């Protein structure tokens, strides 16, 4: 039996919601793993959730990994001020998040 437009829209919305929740988790985990601020104490796995939450909405504006690197550094600078350090500190995180983002876009 064919689904109606309302049911199709509902299913699409659910897929999108699940994808972005998964994307949020993946970005936060990536930041925890690459640990640009040196705050991974192995038990505080949600430590980078706030930064993931401000990076995530900006992903769609990034056309390249270099764009994403700038975004990641800007967000950490916003959160940590001068102690965020050099943009070089965020290369591994940006590379990992770029891979996650490009994979996620293919699934949406």
- Listing DSSP states for 5-32 in one string gives HHHHHHHHHHHHHHHHHHHHHHHHHHHH
- Range 98-107 average pLDDT: 91
HSE of 33 in the Cβ direction (CA atoms, 13 Å)?
13
**Residue-averaged pLDDT of the chain:** 90
Spelled out in words, what is the top-level CATH class assigned to the domain 5-107?
A: mainly alpha
> For residues 60 and 53, what is the distance between their CA atoms, to the nearest angstrom?
14
Q: Contact 104/19 with Cβ under 8 angstroms?
A: yes
Give 11-15's long-range contacts (Cβ < 8 A, gap of 24+). 15/108
List the domain boundaries for the chain: 5-107
pLDDT at 4 over 80: no
């Amino acid at each position: 039996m064919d689904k109606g437009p309302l049911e199709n829209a509902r299913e699409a919305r659910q897929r999108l919601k699940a994808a972005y929740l998964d994307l949020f988790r993946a970005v936060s985990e990536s930041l925890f793993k690459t640990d640009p601020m040196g705050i991974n104490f192995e038990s505080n796995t949600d430590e980078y959730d706030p930064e993931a939450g401000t990076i995530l909405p900006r992903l769609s504006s990034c056309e390249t990994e270099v764009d994403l690197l700038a975004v990641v550094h800007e967000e950490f600078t916003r959160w940590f001020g001068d102690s965020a350090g050099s943009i070089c500190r965020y290369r591994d995180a940006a590379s990992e998040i770029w891979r996650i983002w490009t994979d996620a876009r293919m699934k949406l």
